[in-house]
Structure 1
Amino acid sequence: MPTCATSSPTSTSCAKAPRPTPRPDPACPPHRSVLRRPVSTALSAPVAPTRARMATRAAPGAAPAMTADRPPEMPPRPAGALAWIHCPDPARRKAAEQLALRLLAQEEGLLSVLLTGPSDAPCTPAPGLFCQSEPPEGEDPSGFLDHWHPDALVWLSGYLRPTLLSGARQRAIPMLLAEAEDHALEEPRWRLRASLTRRLIPTFDAFCASTGNAARRLARLGADPEKLEITGPLQEGCGALPFDARLREDLATELTGRPIWLAAPVTAEEVDPILEAQRGMARLAHRVLLILSPADEAAHAAAARLLGDQGWRWCDWREGASPGEETQVLLAEPGTEMGLWYRVAPVCFLARSLVRGQPGTDPYPAAAHGAAILHGPHVRGHLAAYTRLAQAGGARSVRSADSLQQALGRLLSPDQAAAMASAAWQVATEGAETTDRVAGWVIARLEEKGVL
């Protein structure tokens, strides 16, 4: 039976409506792109795996192959093909993860990905993704390379490691230097070893430069022009989240003409200031609807309690209730149907950011769905992403319930909200074609080796 809070015995805020049972969405799954057309000889298009090859591979979820003499602190190497992505620059970690997820999605169950980088680099858990600290510089990498036995390598940015790359070349691992950056090819120590650098660069099989300056520097260092192209950076933002299209249409019909904003994922400490901002918004536009998506069960319970105690007209989505004309707040189920909410609400406040000590929320899923983004001041876990979005005009910081309400009030203007949303989308989708083509290069090399 749907539960609806009411402001009086005769006024209900929700209408019963049968709908599918909500299912949790993945945090940020990559979209399956069809951009497989190469524009130069540097990268070649992938070939779809055949049924015969699929039949000979280990089934998804099968136990990984064990390595009896693996070095300490290394998990067993998984069975089958393994692509290696090395990301020495922490600022590009998000792009590296998106490339890894794109590869895993394109060859689901047939391919694993090893992602290496600095020891303190974060790692987003995903099936088939293995995160490992880079081998210490100056040490023999043989144990690392022999344990993982990668089938292809994508090295990002620059900051080249001669010993590690030489070991990879000795093992005939196909190597691509992707999104090469001018500054990452300018390490002072390189000037003392120009001859070593010139011997190292040609060992790569292909080069993708982020800028023209980086391409020219690579050419001067010995990169074959036939293997070099300017592609720009990889994509940092993720693709679109899944959603129920029929449910989206039903909600759009029910909520036509109403201002809507989303707050997600809201912690228990943030519920009260967010409701305070909604109260101020209701004085500006009495039909405004807040979709409140809690971060967890504790936040859901706190929100339900405050909504009842403060006399809001609200409905609980997890109980099967849909918003009616008088509904002020829709309380969503924690961690579910974000693909739907991002499509329904043109403005999104990204929570886990109002209270000191909170890490913030990844802004790219909201940006990829074309939402105008507001956020609190505490976003240390995603600072680079928020900086990019703010510089482009796609995100704005607020510090309190009052400043949140003021920012929301300005975004009642459809033109302002659309301009912010467009800027955020441009940032989130930049580099998608480059990521597709690099993934295609990896898959083509694995197929040439006969491991995929």
Structure 2
Amino acid sequence: MMHRLYQGLTTLGGPLIGLYLERRKRRGKEDSARFAERLGRPARPRPAGPLVWVHGASVGESLSMLPLIERLCGRGLNVLVTTGTVTSARLMEQRLPKGALHQYVPVDRMAYVRSFLDHWRPDLALWAESEFWPNLLAESRRRGVRLVLVQGRVSPKSFAGWKTVPGFIRKLLSGFELCLAQTEGDAQRLAALGAPAARCLGNLKYAVPPLPCDPGELERLRHTMAGRPVWLASSTHPGEEVLCAQVHAALAARFPGLLTLIVPRHPPRGAEVAAELRRLGLTVALRSAHEPLAPATDIYVADTIGELGLFYRLADIVFVGKSLAVGGGQNPFEPARMGCAVLFGPAMDNFPDMVDAMRAAGAATEVADAEALTLAVGGLLADRQRTQSLKAAALAWTEAEAGVLDKVEAALAPLLGGLDKRHARP
């Protein structure tokens, strides 16, 4: 009943959906050059042979699936990767291995969904995390596409919401033959909502290799920063940049030449962030504007896409954003994988199990507020031995968690093994 209502609304609401998409396009949230893909009109031919379709909503989901995508391509399979955001599309263009291609996921309106599936005809679909598009899932299932949920995630808040429509979520999840959850808690919540064969083999974010960087640019910036005490605030959200500026101001006299690196989670905010920090009396350089990183620069705002690997290599001390001024948290595994001394605030709700494991292993330190962040950064800048100890603990923990990819691939092996026969079906 609920799904039929949803299908009817998305069909009759075509004009409103069109207006909404046009508004997003004007705001830069849709890719004008590839907008037809969002309407189910493909930009590339379908490769011959079996096709595995991997869907991740945005940057985090798609990046977590990269190691698995590489394994699939290593088996000689064609892989179609879909995401919904402009940033994720750009990253996938840079990071996808040979044998994989990217398209934008169609908007969940039946006409677009059918056009997309008519063209791509996937044999197996791997959906990441928690983006359940009803029309896309139902039509895929109707056409005989085998569905697997990978990196399944249902937060306690989402779980409470889904429980208000139990029949609807049960029907959505029943289309998946296998549900591989990120954590044991996610597996329990998925099972309670009706997901078949829900279990946890580990978090694929643990299998992600170190983020890449440009070696030449790394050497250039190392030379530019030589001799300066440095710390990094990564993936920051509104309000956190000012807090980091306050940390800088509190420590600048104690550590002459202190350089604070800030990488906003959303690069288009870079100019706004730089202007805000300049109003505080700080000397700020904006990377996207090619402003030079000079000896007098207090804060370097790196508002570029795909360069976190570069800045994690430049800073031993890293604060992970969206954990102080805003809740939820960003992925702390990435800086730990680079062997950084990791700090984060108390609001890491998106990564509860990961955060607990990191704290237990001594691989990260939680700070309660801006004052505690100042004390933590200052303490690490003053104590090189302590910093090296945290760096080593972080790296050792990430390496110990790296076996999850083999477990996930083994669980998928029965489905992957029969793809040739399924592809030959009428």
For normalisation by structure 1, the TM-score amounts to 0.55
Cα drift, residue 407 of structure 1: 0.8
Code of the residue aligned with 1:150 in structure 2: it is V
Residue of structure 2 equivalent to 1:389? 358
Identify the match of residue 431 of structure 1 among 381, 404, 408: 404
Residue of structure 2 equivalent to 1:264? 234
Cα drift, residue 419 of structure 1: 3.3
1:360 aligns with 2:355: no
For normalisation by structure 2, the TM-score amounts to 0.57
Matches within 5 A, 1:29-428: 29=63, 30-32=65-67, 47-49=75-77, 61=103, 77=117, 79-84=120-125, 113-114=126-127, 122-123=130-131, 131-132=132-133, 146-151=141-146, 153=148, 233-237=202-206, 238-296=208-266, 299-333=269-303, 335-355=305-325, 358-412=327-381, 413-425=383-395, 426-427=397-398
CA contact (8 A) 1:342 1:366 kept: yes
Code of the residue aligned with 1:421 in structure 2: it is K
Code of the residue aligned with 1:409 in structure 2: it is G
Q: How many residues align?
A: 319
Cα drift, residue 285 of structure 1: 1.9
CA contact (8 A) 1:267 1:299 kept: no
Runs (5+) with no aligned partner, structure 1: 1-24, 37-43, 51-56, 85-112, 116-120, 124-130, 135-140, 158-162, 190-199, 202-207, 211-231
Q: Which has the higher contact order (CA 8 A, sep 6+)?
A: 1
Identify the match of residue 446 of structure 1 among 406, 419, 426: 419
Q: 1:114 and 1:387 mapped to 2: Cα distance?
A: 26
For the structure 1 residues 346 and 74, does the alpha-carbon distance in structure 2 shift closer, same or farther, using more than 3 Å as the test?
farther
For the structure 1 residues 58 and 417, does the alpha-carbon distance in structure 2 shift closer, same or farther, using more than 3 Å as the test?
closer
Cα drift, residue 380 of structure 1: 2.3
Q: 2:239 and 2:357 mapped to 1: Cα distance?
A: 27
Q: 1:353 and 1:371 mapped to 2: Cα distance?
A: 17
SS in 1 for 2:342: strand
CA contact (8 A) 2:150 2:179 kept: yes
CA contact (8 A) 1:347 1:373 kept: yes
Q: 1:265 and 1:62 mapped to 2: Cα distance?
A: 24
Cα displacement string for residues 192-226 of structure 1 (whole angstroms, at most 9, x for unaligned residues): xxxxxxxx99xxxxxx997xxxxxxxxxxxxxxxx
Q: Which has the larger radius of gyration?
A: 1
CA contact (8 A) 2:287 2:301 kept: yes
Q: 2:104 and 2:240 mapped to 1: Cα distance?
A: 42
Cα drift, residue 45 of structure 1: 11
Runs (5+) with no aligned partner, structure 2: 1-57, 79-98, 153-169
Code of the residue aligned with 1:83 in structure 2: it is L
Residue of structure 2 equivalent to 1:104? none
Q: 2:103 and 2:73 mapped to 1: Cα distance?
A: 28
CA contact (8 A) 1:35 1:433 kept: no
Of Structure 1 and Structure 2, the greater helix share is in 2
Cα displacement string for residues 81-124 of structure 1 (whole angstroms, at most 9, x for unaligned residues): 3435xxxxxxxxxxxxxxxxxxxxxxxxxxxx345xxxxx743x
For the structure 1 residues 82 and 271, does the alpha-carbon distance in structure 2 shift closer, same or farther, using more than 3 Å as the test?
same
For the structure 1 residues 338 and 442, does the alpha-carbon distance in structure 2 shift closer, same or farther, using more than 3 Å as the test?
farther
For the structure 1 residues 281 and 336, does the alpha-carbon distance in structure 2 shift closer, same or farther, using more than 3 Å as the test?
farther
CA contact (8 A) 1:351 1:360 kept: yes
CA contact (8 A) 2:346 2:367 kept: yes
Q: 2:261 and 2:184 mapped to 1: Cα distance?
A: 44
Q: 1:267 and 1:293 mapped to 2: Cα distance?
A: 9
The RMSD of aligned alpha carbons is 5.1
Code of the residue aligned with 1:390 in structure 2: it is R
Cα drift, residue 320 of structure 1: 1.3
